Amino acid sequence: MDTTIESLGTPRIDSPLKSLKFVEESERVLYDISVESACRDLSSGKEPESFMRAGPRSKIFFDCSKLKCAIVTCGGLCPGLNNVIRSVVLTLHHSYGVNNILGIRYGLQGLIPRYGHGFMELTPEVVSEINELGGTILSSSRGPQDIQEIVDALERMNVGIFFAIGGDGTFRAAARISEEIRQRNAKIAVIGIPKTIDNDINLLSRSFGFNTAVSMATQAIGAAHVEANGAPNGIGLVKLMGRNSGFIAASAALDKRYANFVLIPESDFDIDGPRGFLAVLEERLLRRKHAVIVVAEGAGQKYCSADGADESGNPRLGDIGYYLKQRISEYFHSKGIETNLKYIDPSYTIRSVPATANDSVFCGFLGQDAVHAGLAGKTNMVVGSMNDQFVYVPIREIVKARRQVDLDGRLWRSVLEATGQPSFLNDEPASL
């Protein structure tokens, strides 16, 4: 893994942040802090993998009095977007004296002339209370745009630092933007701030919005629990976000522990057969008279997959929640067993709410460290959290994969212990 962070050049200007403790370029954060990993590296004579520590540098690359910055939000909505925008603007203005900050409207479309979206001037007054709002004041969009046109616009606007807030698709675009900038020998820094409610950014331990999503998802599971207990053979079925990774479903299920079954993309399951999901659910209803099911949107796609891809290039998902609702109803009707099923899908409610206090603080740190990176001339990188430290990670490493729930790790094992659910695979033992 190459963890080298690209730079526009040697920073030569004294930082205006005289009162802060500066981070040295040599400071690193270990990726794997386990004793076993350290022993393996020592025995093999290999340097342990580590990443550059985030934070303010004593020398910066840009002249703050002449610098213009631009901020864009891309992809789906996520709690905390406005908090990150606010943090970037306030840090640029108050810490570095940068007064020329533009918000790009409607994602990368805002840089393409034919859309005619225009820009938004971002000042401390404009962003002072946006942290109380869900969504993004800049609005967003999906889908690819012409990279040359994007860089043309950045050069035309005389932008020095381009802050891109988004997920995997946004970062793939940011990497191509950085490459085009490099070929033109332009001095524009591209700084990524990871946004995915699913918490599936490769290498990073946390993404903003996840804490808020889990909090809101817990409320939905609580409602399903009440509904399930409110009628004979009551079933509460909750579909949560999680296209490729089940972190929200697994984490929310562990809060009040109302969930009896948790289905995630990482863990395959059979729906039919003597040890399949429907048979196990039947046994649960006969024994306890109620059940709460939590399913991540990307689970069980072998049963309900859709054709094609969305605007971001992701494979379209079938509606596993509706599929389960139909199959459960048909299964128990065929057996003459009356059930009362309530289906809850809070996805758009969850992603559009304001960030929790915990997420808000986290967003503040991300915004600050993104600004520190940009002012120091670093580029083609993402700022993120790793082992409770903030680090700079090359975009090329971020986009190599998506982070997923480790089926042998503590999170999933805790879910299995809390629910007592079996594997739902007919060719495996039913017990844990």
For every residue of 229-253, DSSP letters joined together read HTSTTEEEEEEE--SS--HHHHHHH
Bridge partners, residue 166, by sequence: 194
Task: Say whether 273 sits in a helix, a strand or coil.
Answer: coil
* Rounded distance between C-alpha atoms, residue 279 and residue 405, angstroms: 25
List CB contacts of 39: < 8 A, sequence separation 6 or more. none
CA–CA distance, 71 with 87 (Å, rounded to integer):
11
- Bridge partners (DSSP) of residue 121 are 102
State the catalytic residue, choosing from 168, 198, 345, 359: 198
Q: How far is CA 133 from CA 81, 128, 130, 398, in A?
A: 9, 11, 5, 29
From 207, 243, 255, select the one nearest 358 (Cα to Cα). Answer: 207
Asked if 168 is an active-site residue, the reply is no
User: For residues 142 and 195, what is the distance between their CA atoms, to the nearest angstrom?
Assistant: 14
In the chain, the amino acid numbered 300 is G
Which element (helix H / strand E) includes 392? strand 389-394
Strands (E) across 3-49 are located at: 6-7, 13-14, 28-30
Nearest to 235 by CA among 269, 260, 265: 260
**Residue 69: strand pairing partners:** 101, 161
- DSSP annotation of 196: -
Q: Supply the residues annotated as catalytic.
A: 198
